[in-house]
Amino acid sequence: MTKNYQRILTIQDISCVGQCSLTAALPILSACGMETCILPSAVLSTHTAFKNFTCRDLTEDMPVISEYWEKENITFDAFYTGYLGSEQQIDFVTEIFRKHARENALVFVDPAMADNGKLYPAFDKKYADAMKPLCFGADVMLPNLTEACLLTDTPYPESYDETLITEIIRKMQNAGAKLIILTGIGYTPDTTGVVIADGGQIRHYPHKKVSGGCHGTGDVYASAFIGAYLHGQNAYEAARTAADYTVKCIENTLDDPSHWYGVKFETALPDLIKQFA
């Protein structure tokens, strides 16, 4: 078997157009050298930033697919969850981990439920509370600041400093979190970055803030981080690789105003692949 060639299952929705969720995770993880398997939680015509979209919920299909895999003895080296549509899906995912994990399998959880101080429209506080065991039981969790606040019952701050961020991280660790990758954290007006909390060590990797928001960059970042981490990079190296890649994706998109719905992550895949040459 090729070194670092692992089978990962990613569980999240498919937005057929929009360069996010599974349509980003599958090519990025594959580019990182992983056998990437998918379990869709829903199928959308486009992501929800479009004015109109169709959505087919696949909750009922998830346990059926899992039962088939169980009969075929299909197992995975890692699991990566993104957007999950309901508390019932959270329960299904937990059972899938139990049934299909190989020895020493790793679980990565991106809460994918909130941003900019607010829950996504489909979710409420009850859902956020239901996410806590999944996040705090994972080997690696990748929240943004809004999600970290919800998971720790911390009021969302309009401004913050390193002391507050450390306090929130300690709350997550006290709740059971192992490795925390906290995204979108910048301590100066012209930077953003990621905080890597691994046991007692907390490190910050800053990078320049690119003006303008882009849909799907959280999915791009999480997928690149997981691919780099599974490929053998340590947490800080993987966080840096994913951040640099995501910035490149945004930069490759800014000159095209018609491409408002996502980032051209495909154009930067060669740069990502070079990290593992």
Residue 63's H or E segment, with its range, is helix 61-71
pLDDT-derived band at 3, boundaries 50, 70, 90: low
pLDDT-derived band at 178, boundaries 50, 70, 90: very high
Mean pLDDT of 174-193: 96
pLDDT-derived band at 209, boundaries 50, 70, 90: confident
Mean pLDDT of 1-26: 90
What DSSP string runs through 109-174? E---SEETTEE-TT--HHHHHHHHHHHHTSSEE--BHHHHHHHHT-PPPSS--HHHHHHHHHHHHH
Which pLDDT belongs to residue 1? Answer: 37
Query: How many Å apart are CA 125 and CA 276, to the nearest integer?
Result: 40
Domain spans in the chain, listed from the N-terminal domain onward: 7-269
Q: For the purposes of burial, counting CB atoms within 10 Å of the CB of 84, is it exposed (0-12), middle (13-18) or buried (19 or more)?
A: buried
Q: Closest Cα partner for 223 from 2, 4, 16, 38?
A: 38
Q: Report the sign of the C-alpha dihedral through residues 205, 207, 209, 214, in that order.
A: negative
* 115 Cβ contact partners less than 8 Å away, ≥ 6 residues apart: 144, 146, 147, 218
pLDDT-derived band at 208, boundaries 50, 70, 90: confident
Determine the topology of domain 7-269 in CATH.
UDP-N-acetylmuramoyl-L-alanine:D-glutamate ligase (3.40.1190)
pLDDT-derived band at 161, boundaries 50, 70, 90: very high
Residue range 90-149, pLDDT digits in tens: 999 999 999 999 999 999 999 999 999 999 988 999 999 999 999 999 999 999 999 999
**Within 13 Å of residue 72, how many CA atoms lie on the same side as its CB?**
9
Q: Closest Cα partner for 251 from 219, 207, 203?
A: 207
Q: Are 238 and 277 in contact (CB under 8 A)?
A: no
Mean pLDDT of 28-32: 97
The torsion angle over the Cα atoms of residues 93, 96, 100 and 106, rounded to 10 degrees, is 20
Which pLDDT belongs to residue 217? Answer: 93
Between residues 49 and 172, the one the model is more confident about = 172
Characterize the bridge pairing of strands 179-183 and 114-115.
unpaired
Mean pLDDT of 187-212: 91
Query: How many Å apart are CA 232 and CA 263, to the nearest integer?
Result: 26
Which pLDDT belongs to residue 206? Answer: 95
Residue 192's H or E segment, with its range, is strand 191-198
What average pLDDT does the chain have?
94
252 conformational bin, left if phi > 0, alpha if psi -120 to 50, beta if neither: alpha
